[in-house]
Amino acid sequence: MCSRYYFVLALILILFSEIVIASDTERYELGVGDKVSIRVFGQPDLEVEALLGNSGLVNYPFLGEVKLVGLTVKQVENLISVGLKDGYLVAPNVYAQVIEYRPFYIHGEVKKPGAYPYQPGMTISQAVALAGGMTERASENKIYLSQEKSKSQEALAGVNTNVNAGDTIKIEQRLF
């Protein structure tokens, strides 16, 4: 009976985490450094893979330059679909996805500071693990997060704080 309870509880937690990650990816806004793929069902000539540069523009067949930075994947699908309906295709079935997210950055008292690939749902704890863990001088109470999206100053954060693509994490030294 007890093991069945834990099994059901674990299943609920797994399903809940999938829902949270799915909602994160639905709200994710494309930015400079993201690599995207756009496909139209049955139209291989309209498949495009592009790395978003500083302009945020992608040259798309028939539509020319399309600005994708700041849009969600759903908004990209709608934009391309509406553009293709305007004299090119009757009912285009457009699918867009992020192939590679722009990196987040971590520096300070971690073993391997630098830029790392972002994954939806990532926390500071997971980011620190990617950077090889904290050094022996690291302070677990002085972790700062600068969010790219809000262009805000560094804010004190905990190890369970969510990290977004483009964010910068700084781990300070602790006083002995």
Architecture of the domain defined by 104-173: Roll (3.10)
Q: pLDDT of 4-55, one tens digit each?
A: 655 554 545 555 554 444 445 678 999 999 999 999 999 999 999 999 999 9
Task: Report the CATH superfamily, name and number, of domain 1-102.
Answer: wza like domain (3.30.1950.10)
48 Cβ neighbours under 8 A, 6+ residues apart: 37, 38, 58, 60, 61
Q: pLDDT of 104-162, one tens digit each?
A: 999 999 999 999 999 999 999 999 999 999 999 988 889 999 888 776 677 778 888 99
What pTM was estimated for this model as a whole?
0.75
The domains of the chain are located at: 1-102, 104-173
Alpha carbon of 3 to those of 7, 11, 12, 16, 93: distances in Å? 6, 12, 14, 20, 46
